[in-house]
Amino acid sequence: MDDKIKKAAKTGFAAKGVVYLITGVLAFMAAFNLGGQKAGKLEVIDFLENQPFGKFILVALGLGLCCYALWRFIQSIQDPENIGDDSKGAVKRISFFISGLIYMGLGFFAILNAFSQSGSGGGSKSSMIPSEYQQYIFLAVGICLAGKSIYQFIKAYKGKFISKFNLKAMSDSKKRKFIKNMGYAGLTARGILVGIVAYFFVTAGLSIGGSASSGMQGTSGAFSFLQQNSSGPWLMGLVAAGLACYGVYMFTMSKYRSFN
């Protein structure tokens, strides 16, 4: 595989790791009233924009996320790792393409925010969708997210993510164990949050009278859902810590992932 493609992928993994690590840390702090906030990806961009040298950080992050999107597009179209064209491979490659679109949009959003004078605003994105189609779209998105959630749990349970690393070449057993633990914790936490967001979308889609958009929530809403549980801050804090672990796992992907 071309070294430029590898570098783009590694840069993308690092940028994605930054987003998830900050999301997890902010949510963990919010769970125990230590500051922070229940944030999704867009809120993380707003958070970074308000930091010292925030504009430069956003540009770097945006370019990194675009690199990740490029890697997903290459995986989807060129198939450099020989995923294949069978039904299973086709689903994976389509999901890679969709992931690329999402992270390309997020990357552009970060870069545009760096050069804009105003914040991202709080307008409702669902209002852009005609009301007669909202319920069907939300149901479709919810079902897809539910499938993604299940896939995260299966991926963690089977441990197939470990095959992306050349662990046998690592002499340090503690490092190998660390990578595995970050992957297990991160994928499980991600599966929980994606599952909750899927529930929000399906519930919104099943609502009556065109009020579907009122039930649509993202990652921040999922954290609020966990916080309302009888376990109080502990469940939210545990999942938030797991999401931070996923960010760290992305950093290990950037450094140690092997490419076929």
| pLDDT (mean) for 69-97 | 91
pLDDT at residue 121, as a whole number: 45
Q: In angstroms, how far is CA 228 from the centroid of its own chain? A: 23
249 belongs to a structural domain: yes
Percent of the chain having pLDDT more than 90? 37
- Between the alpha carbon of residue 178 and those of residues 111, 170, 245, the distances in Å are 33, 12, 10
Could you tell me where the beta strands, DSSP code E, fall in the chain? none
pLDDT at 11 exceeding the cut of 90 = yes
Mean pLDDT is lowest, of 28-37, 86-95, 246-255, for 28-37
Q: What is the pLDDT of residue 71?
A: 94
| 177, part of any domain | yes
- pLDDT, residue 207, reads 74
Does the pLDDT of residue 198 top 80, yes or no? yes
Tell me if 146 is assigned to some domain.
yes
The boundaries of the domain holding residue 60 are: 3-119+130-256
pLDDT class of 131 with cuts at 50, 70, 90: low
Task: State the average pLDDT over residues 124-150.
Answer: 72
In a domain, 125, yes or no: no
* CA-closest candidate to residue 242, choices 256, 258, 226: 226
Q: How confident is the model at residue 70 (pLDDT cuts 50, 70, 90)?
A: very high
**Averaged pLDDT, 155-177:** 82
Q: Residue 208: is its pLDDT beyond 70? A: no
Within a domain: 166? yes
Least confident range of 6-20, 106-120, 239-253:
106-120
Residue 124 domain-assigned (yes or no): no
d(CA 206, CA 212): 7
Minimum mean pLDDT range among 21-25, 84-88, 91-95, 228-232: 228-232
Spatial distance between the Cα atoms of 128 and 133, rounded to a whole number of angstroms: 11
For residues 115 and 248, which has the higher predicted lDDT (pLDDT)? 248
Beta bridge partners of 165: 257
* pLDDT above 50 for 246: yes
Picking from 108, 98, 114, 119, the residue whose alpha carbon sits closest to that of residue 65 is 108
The answer to whether residue 223 is domain-embedded is yes
Q: What's the whole-number mean pLDDT along residues 230-259?
A: 88
Q: Is 81 helix (H, G, I), strand (E, B) or coil?
A: coil
Residue 33 lies in a domain: yes
Nearest in space to 57 (alpha carbons), one of 41, 44, 39, 70? 44
As for how many domains the chain has, the answer is: 1
**What is the average pLDDT value for the chain, to the nearest integer?**
83
